[in-house]
């Protein structure tokens, strides 16, 4: 429930996968890693696992190094995350996320646990007190679908330089000062771009009653 | 079923999705997510964006990773697939709404019954703070309880204050908040919350800095 969880909302009714509108779900080539995860889950296929490892291990290593792990810790985290991929392959749900996003969420949770030494509180999809989307009124349900689509449009239409400050600030956890130094931009420009980026996303928020 | 109308800022939702948000505020965000299908989708979209950034990370040659794969051999062999545990999907709670996870596991037992044991400290007539208190990643976490129409006394805070309604409703000059709604007050803003439901309103109350209650003349108590 705390740090180990991933795909916390996998019991939601299926909806268009974020950022993947172009791909037809009938296209078997849509995400080549889905078949590998499936082979790991069904057949405990070591070759499929090795292929996943060769693709994702360098990314996990790089991610952990960028977030402050030393080489030894980063390698331990690679092992942790890939072991979780081996163990949890059966719970991967391609309707909810790509394999890349799924592996990212595992890596995120493991490094919060190991590097930051914090828990990560998360909802429990089996909790009877959780409000399921199916309890929405028809109007609310329509709004949910619309706001989800609007957000994906907003993400897709983010200016490249605004997306880049979001990436540095949220994904790489850089301070405004670090971003300014790395990108050789004035601090004020960094702050402006972040504000514009969040404003762009906010315009896609569901209208408040 | 009315879904929440007041959501956490994207800064918190994005930070929760990327892992940048710290544990204290993540507890409030995650509990709001349990109430709010809209924000769950929003977080999933932000996770997908982070997933894309993760996929785009440059991968220079990393010597030694093949060795790591070889060393995992034994681990894999020793880690059989866990059996699928089919947990019964319970019907959504009816009637009295239970506080959802992850918060429920944190609260003192029986905190959300009418006669609970939150060891409430009355700070003014009809307004209580819980004696129960936790600190997570520098954020102080307590419960705030307001009787119907009881105003929270004037106070000053040096950093962000966040409220998540768990029971009943309250209102301030910006709107009214019921179960699942989040109110976010930045430092040094004036706001006047008061209970707005027949039953006492109970909120999760998060504070980053110090909280100073003021007397009628605006002096610290
Ligand atoms: Zn929400």
Question: What is the distance between the alpha carbons of residues A91 and B83, in angstroms, rounded to a whole number?
Answer: 11
Question: What is the distance between the alpha carbons of residues A195 and A11, in angstroms, rounded to a whole number?
Answer: 34
With contact defined as beta carbons under 8 Å apart, do B123 and B213 qualify?
A: yes
| Range A130-156 average pLDDT | 87
The pLDDT score that the predictor gives to residue A198 is: 95
The better pLDDT of the pair A125, A185 is held by A185
Residues B49 and B138 in one domain: no
Residue B174 lies in a domain: yes
Cα dihedral A136/B85/A5/B65 (nearest 10): -140
The pLDDT score that the predictor gives to residue B1 is: 57
B33: chain A residues, CB-CB within 8 Å: 123
Please identify, among B37, B57, B86, the residue that sits at the C-terminal boundary of a domain: B86
Residue with tokens 């030894």: A72
Residues B138 and B63 in one domain: no
Residues B130 and B179 in one domain: yes
Residue B157 lies in a domain: yes
Choose from B10, B13, B29, B183 for mutation: most chain A CBs within 10 A: B10
Non-local (6+) Cβ contacts of B38 within 8 A are A143, A144, A147, A206, B3, B4, B7
Please identify, among B26, B60, B86, the residue that sits at the C-terminal boundary of a domain: B86
Cα dihedral A81/A86/A89/A91 (nearest 10): -70
- Enclosing domain of residue B201: 103-213
The pLDDT score that the predictor gives to residue B92 is: 40
Question: What is the distance between the alpha carbons of residues B117 and B111, in angstroms, rounded to a whole number?
Answer: 6
The pLDDT score that the predictor gives to residue B85 is: 57
| Range B10-38 average pLDDT | 96
DSSP character for A4? S
Gap from A20 CA to chain B (nearest CA, Å): 9
Question: What is the maximal distance between C-alpha atoms in chain B?
Answer: 71
Considering only CB atoms, A63 lies closest to which of B23, B35, B57, namely B57
Count the domains in chain B.
2
* Angle at B54 (CA atoms; ends B52, B60), nearest 5 degrees: 125
Please report, for the domain that includes residue B107, its CATH number: 2.60.120.10
Q: Where are the beta strands (DSSP E) in chain A?
A: none
The better pLDDT of the pair B1, A108 is held by A108
**Rg for chain A (alpha carbons), in Å?**
19
| Range B139-167 average pLDDT | 90
Instruction: Please report the residues numbered 23 through 62 in chain A whose beta carbons come closer than 8 angstroms to any beta carbon of chain B.
Output: 41, 44, 46, 49-50, 53-54, 57-59, 61-62
Residues B121 and B202 in one domain: yes
DSSP character for B127? E
Instruction: Please report the residues numbered 2 through 61 in chain B whose beta carbons come closer than 8 angstroms to any beta carbon of chain A.
Output: 2-3, 5-7, 10-11, 14-15, 17-20, 22-23, 26-27, 30-31, 33-38, 40-42, 44-45, 47-55, 57-60
Is pLDDT of B95 > 50? no
Could you give the count of Cα atoms lying within 13 Å of B87 in the half-sphere of its Cβ? Answer: 9
Q: Which of A46-60, A125-139, B1-15 has the highest mean pLDDT?
A: A46-60
Residue A44 Rama label (left phi>0; alpha psi -120 to 50; beta)? left
The pLDDT score that the predictor gives to residue A75 is: 94
Residue B96 lies in a domain: no
Interface contact B101, partner A, CB < 8 A: yes
Considering only CB atoms, B84 lies closest to which of A61, A90, A137, namely A90
A155: chain B residues, CB-CB within 8 Å: 45, 49
Residues flanking ion ligand 1, Cβ below 5 Å: B 4, 7, 36, 39
- Domain parsing of chain A, residue ranges: 1-125, 133-202
Minimum mean pLDDT range among A22-36, B6-20, B68-82: A22-36
Considering only CB atoms, B11 lies closest to which of A46, A151, A198, namely A198
Which CATH number does A133-202 carry? 1.10.10.10
Yes or no, beta carbons of A151 and B45 under 8 Å apart? yes
**Average pLDDT of chain B, as a whole number:** 85
Question: What is the distance between the alpha carbons of residues B158 and A64, in angstroms, rounded to a whole number?
Answer: 34
DSSP character for A89? G
Using a 10 angstrom Cβ sphere, with 0-12 exposed, 13-18 middle and 19 or more buried, the burial of residue A183 is middle
pLDDT confidence band for A133 (50 / 70 / 90): confident
B62: chain A residues, CB-CB within 8 Å: 57-58, 61-62
The pLDDT score that the predictor gives to residue B112 is: 53
Buried b / exposed e along B146-182 (16+ C-beta atoms within 10 A): bbbebbbebbbbeebbbbbbbbbbbbbeeeebbbbbb
The pLDDT score that the predictor gives to residue A15 is: 52
Q: Please give the distance, rounded to the nearest whole angstrom, from the Cα atom of residue A171 to the centre of ligand 1.
A: 21
pTM tops 0.90: no
ipTM confidence score: 0.88
With contact defined as beta carbons under 8 Å apart, do B106 and B27 qualify?
A: yes
| Range B82-107 average pLDDT | 66
The better pLDDT of the pair A40, B120 is held by A40
Residues B117 and B199 in one domain: yes
pLDDT confidence band for B118 (50 / 70 / 90): low
**Average pLDDT of chain A, as a whole number:** 86
Residues B64 and B131 in one domain: no
The better pLDDT of the pair A1, B76 is held by B76
Residue B205 backbone phi and psi in degrees, to 5: -125, 115
pLDDT confidence band for B93 (50 / 70 / 90): very low
Q: What percent of chain A has pLDDT over 70?
A: 84
Structure tokens at B156: 């000053």
Is pLDDT of A67 > 80? yes
Non-local (6+) Cβ contacts of A47 within 8 A are none
Interface contact B85, partner A, CB < 8 A: no
The pLDDT score that the predictor gives to residue B183 is: 95
B40: chain A residues, CB-CB within 8 Å: 9, 12, 123, 133
| Range B144-159 average pLDDT | 87
Q: Please give the distance, rounded to the nearest whole angstrom, from the Cα atom of residue B42 to the centre of ligand 1.
A: 8
Q: Please give the distance, rounded to the nearest whole angstrom, from the Cα atom of residue A191 to the centre of ligand 1.
A: 25
Residues B57 and B107 in one domain: no
Minimum mean pLDDT range among A28-37, A80-89, A160-169, B172-181: A28-37
Q: Does domain A1-125 have CATH number 1.10.1740.10?
A: yes
With contact defined as beta carbons under 8 Å apart, do A63 and B56 qualify?
A: no
pLDDT confidence band for A22 (50 / 70 / 90): very low
B31: chain A residues, CB-CB within 8 Å: 121, 123
Interface contact A148, partner B, CB < 8 A: yes
């Amino acid at each position: 429930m705390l740090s180990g969880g991933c795909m916390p909302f996998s019991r939601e009714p299926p909806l268009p996968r974020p950022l993947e509108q172009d791909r037809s779900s009938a296209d078997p080539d849509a995400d080549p890693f889905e078949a590998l995860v499936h082979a790991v889950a069904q057949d405990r296929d070591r070759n499929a696992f090795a292929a996943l490892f060769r693709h994702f291990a360098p990314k996990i290593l790089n991610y952990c190094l960028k977030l402050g792990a030393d080489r030894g810790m980063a390698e331990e985290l690679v092992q942790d995350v890939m072991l979780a991929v081996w163990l949890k392959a059966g719970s991967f749900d391609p309707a909810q996320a790509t394999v890349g996003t799924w592996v990212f969420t595992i890596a995120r949770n493991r490094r919060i646990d190991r590097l930051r030494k914090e828990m990560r509180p998360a909802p429990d999809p089996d909790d009877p007190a959780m409000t399921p989307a199916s309890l929405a009124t028809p109007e609310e349900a329509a709004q949910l679908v619309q706001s989800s689509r609007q957000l994906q449009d907003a993400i897709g239409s983010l200016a490249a330089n605004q997306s880049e400050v979001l990436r540095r600030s949220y994904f790489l956890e850089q301070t405004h000062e670090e971003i300014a130094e790395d990108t050789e931009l004035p601090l004020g420009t960094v702050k402006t771009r972040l504000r514009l980026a969040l404003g762009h996303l906010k315009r896609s928020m569901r209208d408040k009653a | 079923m009315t879904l929440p109308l007041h959501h956490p800022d994207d800064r918190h939702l994005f930070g929760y999705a990327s892992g940048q948000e710290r544990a204290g505020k993540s507890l409030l965000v995650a509990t709001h997510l349990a109430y709010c299908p809209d924000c769950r989708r929003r977080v999933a979209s932000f996770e997908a964006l982070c997933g894309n950034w993760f996929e785009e990370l440059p991968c220079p040659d990393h010597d030694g990773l093949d060795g790591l794969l070889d060393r995992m051999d034994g681990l894999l062999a020793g880690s059989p697939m866990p059996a699928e545990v089919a947990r019964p999907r319970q019907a959504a709670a009816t009637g009295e709404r239970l506080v959802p996870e992850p918060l429920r596991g944190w609260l003192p037992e029986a905190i959300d019954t009418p006669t609970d044991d939150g060891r409430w400290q009355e700070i003014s007539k009809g307004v209580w703070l819980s004696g129960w208190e936790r600190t997570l990643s520098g954020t102080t976490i307590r419960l705030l309880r307001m009787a119907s129409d009881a105003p929270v006394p004037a106070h000053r805070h040096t950093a962000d204050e966040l409220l998540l309604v768990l029971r009943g409703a309250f209102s301030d000059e910006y709107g009214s908040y019921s179960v699942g709604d989040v109110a976010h007050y930045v430092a040094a803003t004036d706001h006047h919350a008061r209970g707005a439901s027949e039953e006492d309103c109970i909120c999760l109350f998060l504070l980053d800095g110090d909280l100073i209650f003021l007397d009628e003349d605006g002096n610290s108590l």
